[in-house]
Every structure is written in structure tokens, then in C-alpha cells.
Amino acid sequence: MKVLLLDLDSTSPKHLGCYGYHRNTSPNIDQIAAEGVKFTNYYTSDAPCFPSRTALMTGKFGIHNGVVGHGGTAADVRHEGPARDFRDKLASESFPALFRSLGMKTTLISPFGERHSAYTFYAGFNEIHNTGKGGMESAEEVTPTVMNWLENNASKDDWFLYVNYWDPHTPYRAPESFGNPFTDAPLPEWITDDVFEKQKEKVGPHSVHEINMYDSNTNPDYPRYPGEIKNRNDLRKMIDGYDCGIKHMDDHVGMIFAELEKQGIKDEVIIIITADHGENMGELGIYGEHGTADQGTCRIPMIIRWPGCQQGHVDQGLHYHLDLLPTIAELAGKDPAESWDGRSFASSLTEGKDTGRDFLVISQCAHVCQRSVRFGEWLYIRTYHDGYHLFNKEMLFNIKEDPFELNDLASERRDLCREAVYYLNEWHDEMMSTMPFDVDPLWTVMKEGGPYHAKGHLKEYAKRLEKTGRAEAIPELMRRHPREFV
């Protein structure tokens, strides 16, 4: 068995051609989607980067593995404590360890472990290539390592290669020599003039006034990434920058496929294409960030081309990204690890069956503290810390009719909010009853001062709001976050 997993950081399915995007951003990815199974309601359980990849590698929700944020106590995998053996359980129950148990060589090409001091991310890999820039790599700096490995190993049997590309991650860094193939391509139709004018009223990091999180500064090293979106020309620069990142990355993905073709093995390789999270491009008034527990951030692509399985099939069921572990275990004839929280969707691949869940709970605690429930046509978002966005405590969106989260229906559909809270409580009860710990790490983040990317910035941000004529937001920010003004 030969398995290639492409982890495309910050890649939103809504900006891929195979998911209906109007721009030609992803022809190589689209071809694999046409040959395999495309999942349209696939979500990371925990966003953003570090919580998502920790959930994938451990097979556990953040509430179980302990990692829900980017700093503080909740940015470390929980210790097993007195029950820890000579090796911890990741040695045998991590995602790459699954492939090791099948007698396969496991290789990682990624700087991610160093980026977040996430050395547990390395557990189970025989061979690790750190591309060396902590996630600031562009594709042309990653692909040579991939090609060298393929030239030396691809024709061998039994390998798992995990490749991490970063081009769609902020700041968008496709080289200037790549140009802009989208100069004349229309912008997304949903961002009308009325929508854009309303977005200008929003406050908070990565609003149109503060693309650089809390200010409008720019960096000459990243000319595709604006500091502020004042008009539709700036809007084009923002969206073109993101789409160029995806297209530049897709070109390099095509190079990998060409090498597999050259070696005569492409048709036998299992290809998995996914991401750690998406990217908000206007959803909730946020641009160029993945800092909420919403559709823009938490919905991710999942494309699997498994020889002998379904071809050209679309699965619309609700799935978590950590469902991948038990799925591969089942397809390989292995029993899933007892500690995994996922549920296999193998029969979706083999028979096209509906294996989706009734609902999902998705979380974010690095930029805001939110837990959301995705059920039916709905997305319910419950906010515990708003990350200075002034979000309502409860928000509700009809994802089928309003996929870009423009119309909050929480006040109109209290019945659906109550239903969502019931699902959330059921999930929370199950999570707390199935682990040896008595602390929910979301509340650890809250008690340690709030999400990492928000903590300590409000006093200076309030000065900016005053300076830029938006002081009317300050009293409400002071009411919600009084300790930040002490």
C-alpha cells in the first residue's frame, strides 16, 4: 500500500474548483476529486492549526487531548500521568503509528512540529524533514524535498508520505514571478457593495480595517497581502492573493502527480487531500484569518482517491477530520484504537453509503472561545470569549441558504438554538464522562485570561479605534472585558 496525504494549510473548499468555485484555482486537485470521493460537509473538530493537527494525530477531540489553543496550559498535549508506560500511547495509537502497525515506512515533510513546539506531532514517523521556516515556506521551497523523496522511495512498497504546503496561509506568499492569473476574474458575487459597506462597520482583528490583526501595517516581503480593505480594488488584492496562493500550491501538487505518473505508480497510490482548517474570506466580516468556530474556518476539503473504491462520488454527510483514522484502520483490516474519538466512514468510500453523523460540535479557542453545533441545514455558534469582535453570545445561520453567514437568525429561531444547546450539552456530557480529567480546556483558556491571540491587545486596540473614528465600540468592549482595561 502506498499513501500520499497532502495537508494544504488554510485551504478552504469554497475556493477550490471541485467544490464549485468560479475561478480555476485547483485543476490538479480537481482531477483527483473527479477520480475519487469528495466530502462536502467535512469539518475539523478543533481549530485552528495546532488544535486541528493535534486532534488528527491523536485521534481525539481537543477536550480529550488537551490542546485547544495556541498558548498557555491548553497548548500542550495532556500528560498521561502515573499510567504512562515506557512509551506513551501516541507511540502506538497516533495517526502515523497506524501505518507503522501495517509495516509501512512513514515520512513527514513539514515544519509544523517546530512551529508550535508540537513535538507530539512527530510521533510515529520513521523519517522527518523539517523544511525549516516554521510555516513561512512557499511551495517552491517544499517541493524539492518531496521530489527527492519520491525519486528515491516512491517505487518501493508500503509507504505513507505526509506533505504539508503553506501557501494559502496568511500572509499570502506566492512569489511575484508567479504573476496573477486572476487579474480579470470576477470577485465572489456574494460580496456585494451592500455587504461590503456593512463589513466596514465591524470591529475586531482581521476586519476590513485591520487585516494585520490589530492594525493596518503591511510588509514589503508580502506584497499580495493588504493591511486594510478600503475599496473593491483592495478587496480584489485580498482575494487574488489568497487564490494565487492556492493556484501556486496546486501547480506544485501537479508536479508531485507528474512524478508519480513518470514512475508509473500514480494509479496505485492512495491520495488524500485535506487541510487543517479553512480561511474566512468575508464570513462574519473577517478576512484572511481562521479564528472562529464557523463555516469559513472549520469546514475543510476532504478528497480521497482510493484505488478500487468509489469514483466521482460526492458524500454530503457530516464528518470530523479525526474520523479518518478509524476509516483507514477499517479499510486496512485493523481494529481502531480504543482511545480514538472518530467514527469510520469506510463504507462511504467502498459503497457510497451515507455514514454521516447527526450533528457535529466544532471548537475554536485560539482567537476566540467558541463551540458550535452543525446540524441539519444549521450552524449554531456559542461564544464564550468574543476575541474583541463583539459577537453575540448566540448566533444561528442557515448554511444551505446562507453559506457565507450573513443573516444571524438566533433571535428569530429560539427553538433551533435550544435544540443546538441540547446537542452541545449531550456532546459535552459524553466528552467529560469518557476521559480521566475533570477540566474542560476551553475553561482553562478562559481562566488564564482568554484566547492567546486576543489576550493583552485590547487597550492598544481601543486607542486605534478612537484614532480611526470608531470609538463608539469601546464602551461595549470595556463592559465585556473590564480586566483588559485595568
- Cβ density class 52-62: b for 16+ within 10 Å, e for less: bbbbbbbbbbb
* Residue 486: strand, helix, or coil: coil
- In this prediction, residue 4 has a pLDDT band, given cuts at 50, 70 and 90, of very high
Q: What is the pLDDT of residues 131-141, one digit of tens each?
A: 999 999 999 99
pLDDT at 119: 87
pLDDT at 108: 98
Q: Is the pLDDT confidence value at 230 over 90? A: yes
Q: How far apart are CA 413 and CA 289, in angstroms?
A: 29
Which residue type is seen at 375? F
- Residue ranges in 88-208 assigned as alpha helix (H): 90-93, 95-101, 112-115, 139-153, 193-199
Map out the domains of the chain with their CATH numbers: 2-357 (3.40.720.10), 457-486 (no CATH)
pLDDT at 287: 98
Using only C-alpha atoms, what is the Rg of the chain? 22
What is the CA angle 97-101-105, rounded to 5?
75
Q: What is the pLDDT of residues 299-313, one digit of tens each?
A: 999 999 999 999 999
Instruction: Tell which residue, 385, 376, 378, 371, has the closest CA to residue 425.
Output: 371
Work out the average pLDDT over 319-340: 96
Work out the average pLDDT over 439-444: 98
Q: What is the pLDDT of residues 35-93, one digit of tens each?
A: 999 999 999 999 999 999 999 999 999 999 999 999 999 999 999 999 899 999 999 99
Q: What is the pLDDT of residues 349-378, one digit of tens each?
A: 999 999 999 999 999 999 999 999 999 999
Handedness of CA 299, 225, 206, 72 (dihedral sign): positive
Q: How far apart are CA 184 and CA 181, in angstroms?
A: 8
Work out the average pLDDT over 198-220: 96
- In this prediction, residue 12 has a pLDDT band, given cuts at 50, 70 and 90, of very high
pLDDT at 359: 98
Entry pTM: 0.97
- In this prediction, residue 283 has a pLDDT band, given cuts at 50, 70 and 90, of very high
Q: How far apart are CA 91 and CA 3, in angstroms?
A: 20
Q: Is the pLDDT confidence value at 485 over 90? A: no
